[in-house]
């Protein structure tokens, strides 16, 4: 039986849910055991990830059908807001511009945005919608855990946690746009489920590399 767009999104997300043991850093943050220097490194890595992803989403929007373009445009707008919130978190970690400019990014952390850029250049945009939506579920869960831990164990204010709150909150509008984009692609025969699943799997692997690299940096 042919699956609906919502069923396909939910199935793909469930199949690619990360193993609980695949993230060595977020549990440490959750317990308040991660050094503040690691939090600073997290902020500094995200200062590179966020603008890179924003540009990639805009490029995908330019290549996409109207439904997928709306989704990618919304993602890009979200990255703009996230960048503003990130500044407060970075400052709370004690990072100034001199330190930020001197920071050497970790290859394992920057592999994720590099692959998102690859998707922007090479992937069928409809396939990328499915892949990215499946990946965002894990990221949102990590952000919710970090936001709670920053307040509980590190004394961060609501303003300095806003970056993680932003990604932790469900977005019904974004879910609706993703579903519509996938539904249209399915109806028009433009979605390659096998290739989309491959993209999603790689995104999850690069996500795991991000957290592993930071944990080793600690």
Query: What does the longest C-alpha to C-alpha distance in the chain come to?
Result: 58
Mean predicted confidence (pLDDT) in 184-211: 95
Distance CA 57, CA 115 (A): 12
Q: Is the pLDDT of residue 117 over 60?
A: yes
pLDDT of the residue at 22? 81
pLDDT of the residue at 16? 87
Q: Nearest to residue 45, comparing CAs of 96, 92, 111, 98?
A: 111
Supply the DSSP symbol for 20: G
Distance CA 126, CA 188 (A): 11
Q: Nearest to residue 104, comparing CAs of 35, 39, 48, 53?
A: 48
Quick check: 195 and 129 in contact, CB under 8 A? no
Mean predicted confidence (pLDDT) in 29-58: 97
Q: Is the pLDDT of residue 2 over 60?
A: no
pLDDT of the residue at 36? 95
Structural domain spans, the chain: 5-12+23-217
Q: Is 9 exposed, middle or buried (0-12, 13-18, 19+ CB in 10 A)?
A: buried
Mean predicted confidence (pLDDT) in 189-204: 95
* pTM, 2 dp: 0.95
pLDDT digits (tens, 9 = 90+) for 160-170: 999 999 999 98
Who's near 131: CB < 8 A, 6+ residues apart? 119, 123, 196, 197, 199, 200, 203
Mean predicted confidence (pLDDT) in 124-144: 94
Q: Is the pLDDT of residue 1 over 70?
A: no
Mean predicted confidence (pLDDT) in 83-107: 96
pLDDT of the residue at 70? 98
Give the CATH number of domain 5-12+23-217: 1.20.910.10
pLDDT digits (tens, 9 = 90+) for 3-12: 799 999 999 9
pLDDT of the residue at 195? 96
């Amino acid at each position: 039986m042919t699956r609906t767009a919502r069923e396909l999104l939910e199935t793909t997300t469930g199949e690619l849910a990360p193993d609980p043991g695949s993230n060595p850093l977020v549990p440490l943050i959750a317990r308040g055991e991660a050094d503040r220097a690691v939090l600073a490194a997290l902020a500094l890595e995200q200062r590179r990830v966020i603008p890179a992803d924003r540009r990639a989403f805009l490029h995908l929007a330019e290549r996409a059908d109207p439904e997928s373009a709306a989704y990618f445009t919304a993602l890009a707008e979200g990255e703009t807001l996230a960048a503003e919130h990130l500044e407060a978190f970075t400052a709370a970690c004690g990072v100034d511009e001199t330190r930020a400019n001197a920071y050497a990014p970790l290859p394992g952390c920057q592999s994720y945005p590099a692959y998102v850029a690859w998707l922007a250049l090479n992937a069928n945009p409809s396939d990328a919608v499915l892949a990215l939506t499946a990946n965002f579920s894990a990221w949102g869960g990590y952000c919710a855990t970090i936001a709670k831990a920053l307040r509980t164990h590190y004394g961060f204010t609501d303003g300095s946690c806003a970056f993680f709150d932003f990604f932790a909150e469900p977005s019904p509008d974004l879910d609706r746009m993703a579903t519509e984009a996938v539904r249209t692609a399915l109806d028009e025969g433009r979605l390659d489920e096998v290739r989309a699943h491959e993209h999603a799997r790689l995104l999850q692997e690069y996500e795991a590399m991000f957290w592993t690299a930071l944990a080793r940096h600690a």
